[in-house]
Amino acid sequence: MSEQTLQKSKKIISIQSIVVMATLVAMEIVLSRMLSYSVWDMKIGFAFLPVVIAAIVLGPVRAAIVAALADFLGAILFPIGAYFPGFTLTAALVGVLYGLFLHKDQPFWKIVISVSIHQLILSLLLNTYWISVLYDSPFTALLVTRLLQCAVMIPVELLMIGLMVKTLGEFLRKKAMQWA
């Protein structure tokens, strides 16, 4: 293998990035499966934080990989219900969303837009659709019950991401430059 090819393959993904991604996947699984409040159509917790860290530090593609892998492995290792690939797709889209909005730059307006899209479109609409398909339940009735989750999670995500960026922002920006 030529030196140039080796350098190019190193740029795709480093061992350091793989280790960071694996750690974030593990953190997301623990936060999602063991440290969150969950009933069949609603989940409230902090599992979004490792995905947001991946998005800030590693960008949209790797954040999508972290989110999708965490969802898949969490569903296989610690099932809450039947595995459904739609939720994994939504998880990947959340990683892409946060990566597009927050990678390397996190002004509060970008946090507000990304959290709003995450909660109102991906969580409320898309995940409600997946639940209605999976359990053959009426979409509108589920939507109404899941509004509470959205109402709780929007301020929680805004507060937690805002605090994380405020306290760890410079550290995360430096790591983004190293691992990108």
Rounded Cα distance between 147 and 119, Å, is 10
Rounded Cα distance between 25 and 74, Å, is 9
Q: Specify the residue for token string 């991604």.
A: 21
With a CB cutoff of 8 Å and minimum separation 6, the contacts of 32 are 43, 45, 47, 70, 71, 74
For residue 55, the 8-state DSSP code is H
Q: Specify the residue for token string 């219900």.
A: 81
Q: Which domains does the chain have, with CATH numbers?
A: 14-179 (1.10.1760.20)
pLDDT of 23 strictly over 60: yes
Q: Which residue has the higher pLDDT, 135 or 26?
A: 26
Mean pLDDT of the chain: 88
The pLDDT assigned to 99 comes to 96
Rounded Cα distance between 64 and 97, Å, is 9
Strands 37-39 and 42-44: antiparallel
> Taking the model in full, what pTM does it have?
0.87
Q: Specify the residue for token string 């990304």.
A: 114
